[in-house]
Structure 1
Amino acid sequence: MDGTSRAAAFFDLDKTIIATSSATAFSRPFLAEGLLTRRAMLRGAYAQLVFLMGGADEAQTERLRAQLSRMVTGWDTAQVGAIIRQTLHESIDPTVYAEAVTLIGEHHAAGRDVVVVSASGAELVRPIAELVGADDVIASRMEVVDGRYTGHIDRYVYGQEKADAIAELAAERGYELADCYAYSDSITDTPMLEVVGHAFVVNPNGALRRLADERGWGALRFERPVSLRPFATRRSRLAAAGIVGLVVLAAALGWLLGRRHRASGV
């Protein structure tokens, strides 16, 4: 990337950054708070199983979307936001791929922005993106009236819509798409992978691997879901060390200036 152009790395969320589905990861806390019934939770668990086994085609994914839309109709947005914030580490933290966290750090070190792109709602995606250190999100938007979800989706960021949203953000931010990167585990994200200059498939199944071979895309294996707490602790320690260093430096400068002041007799 030259000194005048900007670039970004676009990451799919489910099974790319995290080893699960963000849409169903909060099922237990939603059940505990009375937003979900056990029957709805079981249906969600089955959909999650199909998803994790790689058996969710476009039609099944669309049915899952419709089911989730019906399920959240009438939910209070403030309550949903509070549950997500309170249970984020419990629900998501242990499922984050270490390889994804490392890649995000490498892109930041190279001066690229990191954007999480997901068909899940922005209410779910943004806290997770912040957790892993991403700069922004592209996510679906649910319609809200009087503080409650209506069940209508204002924008469903899926398939071609992901690529369109990436192109829109690139035009807005001045990203050179030829210099941008994209990562996904799903063949339904083919448009997203095609719109950038550097595409990578993650843990690809047979069809996605064949497509990657045909297009010359890279292939990555993410295998280590880890807790982010050690990463956060390490960052905190580094920050603390930096503060201590500044304090020591300030004290040393103060001592040196005081010594010169006394030596001058002023």
Structure 2
Amino acid sequence: MRGVVFFDVDGTLVPNTSSGQHLAELLGHAEVVREAEAGYAAGVLSNEQVCVLDARGWASRSPAEVRGFLKTLPLVEGIAETVDWCRRHRLAPILATLAWDVVGEYLCDRFGFERSCGPRLEVVRGRYSGDVAAYFDEIDKRDFAVSVATELGVQLWHCAAIGDSRSDLPLFAEVGMAVAFNATAGARSAAHTSADGSDLRDVLPLLAGWLESMP
């Protein structure tokens, strides 16, 4: 394994919205999640507070039902091809995200990411209870990436991160290549480079250049 590429989900693989907002539209609490995520982006709510507000809207729904909803999740083009490129260049493709764990698991199954992270909803007798089983914030996201790199025997400067917003900043500060993709001003200023577009393959020239410069 030559390195690792960590991919964010919301705002990065999921354009112009978030997996949480998309699912909330189908679950019936979209306005709650829109306001909560806006509060997180503005720095006035923690991710734990957002999780609590969102989780209530999942009460009585089943994991299978939500899995069906995820088939309609809007995604950028080129995800499968980018994952394949990473594998061909001996880079482990990993999801580093604050999206619910069910979202990461779905994307791993669909596109071949090796693993994912994220907060977890409580399930009681086959249904979501409306409570959070495990919280996960931007520091946990960074720590997850560090632990994956350590497990794989990869130095952090041989890791790249692709992200777009506040939750990516702690991870951007740790890796050898931080790419802001369709990102906020804050993420762009924290990244080494940036790209914009509707296709994830737009980051590949940047990753290729990083690989060429890698000792």
Please state which band the TM-score falls in when normalised by the shorter chain.
0.7 to 0.9
CA 224–121 in structure 1, closer or farther in 2 if over 3 Å, else same = same
Please list, as runs of the form range in 1=range in 2, the aligned pairs for 1:70-149 lying within 5 A after superposition: 70-72=56-58, 74-76=59-61, 79=62, 81-89=63-71, 91-92=72-73, 95-149=74-128
CA 43–140 in structure 1, closer or farther in 2 if over 3 Å, else same = closer
Please list, as runs of the form range in 1=range in 2, the aligned pairs for 1:35-46 lying within 5 A after superposition: 36=28, 40-45=29-34
Gaps in structure 2 of 5+ consecutive residues: 201-215
TM-score w.r.t. length of structure 1: 0.64
Answer yes or no: is the 8 Å Cα contact 1:119–1:156 preserved in 2.
Answer: no
2:42 is aligned to 57
Please list, as runs of the form range in 1=range in 2, the aligned pairs for 1:188-203 lying within 5 A after superposition: 188-203=167-182
Structure 2: distance between partners of 1:159 and 1:210 = 17
Query: RMSD between aligned alpha carbons?
Result: 2.7
TM-score w.r.t. length of structure 2: 0.77
For 1:218, which of 183, 193, 206 is the aligned residue?
193
Structure 2: distance between partners of 1:136 and 1:195 = 19
1:59 is paired with a residue whose SS is coil
From the CA coordinates, give the structure whose radius of gyration is larger: 1
Answer yes or no: is the 8 Å Cα contact 1:58–1:188 preserved in 2.
Answer: no
- Deviations, residues 224-245 of structure 1 (Å, cap 9, x unaligned): 59xxxxxxxxxxxxxxxxxxxx
2:194 is paired with a residue whose SS is strand
Identical-residue share of aligned pairs (%): 22
- CA shift, 1:182, in A, is 0.7
Residue type of the alignment partner of 2:3: A
- CA shift, 1:11, in A, is 0.4
- CA shift, 1:113, in A, is 1.5
Gaps in structure 1 of 5+ consecutive residues: 31-35, 226-266
Structure 1 or 2: more helix by fraction: 1
